[in-house]
Structure 1
Amino acid sequence: MPSTLKAYFCAIMLKKKLILIILLTVGAFSSCKKEEYDPEKQLKIDDAIIQEFITKNSIPAIKHESGIYYQILNPGSGSQVTVANSVSTTYEGRLLNGSIFDGGSADFPLSRVIVGWQIGIPLIKKGGKIRLIVPSVFAYSINPPQGSGIPKNAVLDFTVDLTNVQ
């Protein structure tokens, strides 16, 4: 085979390989579709789940204007809480199937926790106890902490004792 013909076939094969690589790369990236997340739509889904849960379990929860549900078990009588406060709590966090994913005692600035707590904890005072049923959009939505056992878009059920406010 003459060298010019051989060079021609090599060039064609190289072009085919290059085209194949480009097509595979484009295909791989187009199959990595980003997960579309609509918080308003998810809040409606969560609300239906929560309403079914509280009805089934006869929980006298109140719906806050934000969309979280709460039950004040003890209003407390101490200091009023704001998001600017640091708080001390004893708490337990559960999924709606009853499995516990977290609990214990913790001290933290209220501004550094999930939005559901930022909304719910100020509904009680020092010494109070509250149950918060938090829609996923006010918890971890599609980004739960790794290894927490919390699935994406999980509604969370907390019982929180507010032991101190600073």
Structure 2
Amino acid sequence: MKSILLSLVSLLFVSCLSDTEKPTAAVDYTAQNEKEITDYIAKNKLTATRTDSGLYYVINEAGTGVKPTASSNVTVAYKGYFTNGNVFDKSGDAGISFGLQQVIKGWTEGIPYFKEGGNGILLIPSALGYGSNGSGPIPGGSVILFDVKLIKVN
């Protein structure tokens, strides 16, 4: 009898939680990210291309070598930063190697726009990056930019 009463009291308490105390769904940063990216492009006088997914990319040099696919393993030198210029990650000049299926969606989609030897910028909304939760030094909802150089398709 005591356990039934305890269960009923627990059930009543849980059902009385306010909406602010219940878990919430992920925040949609789409419009905010789009404005941040387009403002950055205008401020820096970039010529960028927007894809259907919301990724923007700038090709400074197209490259002349092999063009990767979304499932390729590549070696890329990069610098990752926010629209305010603060750098959160950087590779060495020799780059790092990885499979394009093992990285954020913005890289899986964006790196194949370059050929070996090519370089440019990926402007990635949070939906193609680290989402509304973030990761490490990258807060949830963040637009992230990468200067990339495709060194090699492995």
Gaps of 5+ in 2: none
Output aligned runs, 1:59-138, within 5 Å.
Answer: 59-104=46-91, 105-138=95-128
> Percent sequence identity over matched residues?
31
Q: Which has the higher contact order (CA 8 A, sep 6+)?
A: 2
- Select 1:33's aligned residue among 8, 22, 28: 22
Task: Report the RMSD for the aligned CA atoms in angstroms.
Answer: 2.6
Conserved? CA contact 1:83–1:118, under 8 Å:
yes
**Is the 8 Å Cα contact of residues 121 and 130 (structure 1) preserved in structure 2?**
no
Partner Cα distance (2:7, 2:144) in 1: 50
Quote the Cα distance in structure 2 between the aligned partners of 1:34 and 1:18: 22
Output the amino acid matched with 1:81. Answer: P
- Alignment of 1:55 onto 2:42: yes
**Which whole-Å deviations, capped at 9, do the CAs of 1:62-84 have from their partners, x for residues lacking one?**
21232111110111111111011
More helix by share: 1
Amino acid at match of 1:124: F
Structure 1 residue 29 displacement after superposition: 8.2
Q: Which runs of 5+ in 1 are unaligned?
A: 1-14
Q: Could you give the per-residue CA deviations for residues 21-58 of structure 1, whole angstroms, max 9, x where no partner exists?
A: 555444458653222236xx532331122111211222
Q: Which amino acid aligns with 1:71?
A: V
Shift of 1:113: 0.6
1:80-109 per-residue CA deviation (whole Å, 9 max, x = no partner) reads 110111000110100111111111032100
The one-letter code of the counterpart of 1:135 is: P
Return the TM-score normalized by structure 2. 0.83
* Match of residue 149 from structure 1: 137
The structure with the largest alpha-carbon Rg is 1
